[in-house]
Structure 1
Amino acid sequence: MVQSLLQSQWAELFDVVAFFRSTLLPILIVALFALALVAVSARIWLPGDMLAPAPIS
């Protein structure tokens, strides 16, 4: 009885890990890529004087 309960708990844990790896992780990777793409592409809409690097002196 106890062993069966432990096996079912491990099965549930593996189901959670499988769900994370097959569903959540790819969504997080794509969202992170999209965020990086937006951050890099935001320079297009900046005024021209803000595109230049900051002056040193």
Structure 2
Amino acid sequence: MAFFRQYIAPLLVVLVFIVSLVAVSARIFLPNDMAAPAPIEEVNPTSDKAQSPAADSVADLPPALSALLKGLPDELGLSEQL
């Protein structure tokens, strides 16, 4: 057990560090458009009118769960909930 703790475990830690360092450093050699972080917003946002009517009902969930998934309607404010 001491052999594993003194030789094998530190070797595994160093190997994981080297592999992760190589993976992160590989971004230097990528083309400029691929080296940037991924965009957060959608490139082609879809409008609400383009959604099908079935997209409004999320698997016929109860109103409490539907509010958690879709959010509260605009006319309901948090002050009314308290």
Q: Please report the TM-score for the alignment, with normalisation by the length of structure 2.
A: 0.46
Q: Given the alignment of the two structures, is residue 47 of structure 1 paired with residue 47 of structure 2, yes or no?
A: no
| Larger RCO (CA within 8 A; separation ≥ 6) | 1
Q: Give the stretch that moved more between structures: 29-38 or 45-54.
A: 45-54
How many angstroms does 1:54 deviate by? Answer: 2.5
CA RMSD in angstroms comes to: 1.0
Percent identical: 59
Q: Given the alignment of the two structures, is residue 27 of structure 1 paired with residue 11 of structure 2, yes or no?
A: yes
Q: Which residue of 1 aligns with 2:46?
A: none
Amino acid in the other structure paired with 2:19: L
Structure 2: any 5+ residue segments left out of the alignment? 43-82
- Which runs of 4 or more aligned residues in structure 1 lie more than 3 Å from their structure 2 counterparts after TM superposition? none
Deviations 1:12-55 (CA, angstroms, capped at 9, x unpaired): xxxxx111001101100100110110111010010111012233
Structure 1: any 5+ residue segments left out of the alignment? 1-16
Size of the alignment, in residue pairs? 41
Q: Please report the TM-score for the alignment, with normalisation by the length of structure 1.
A: 0.63
Report which of the two structures shows the higher radius of gyration computed on alpha carbons.
2
Kindly indicate which of the two structures has a greater share of residues assigned to helix.
Answer: 1
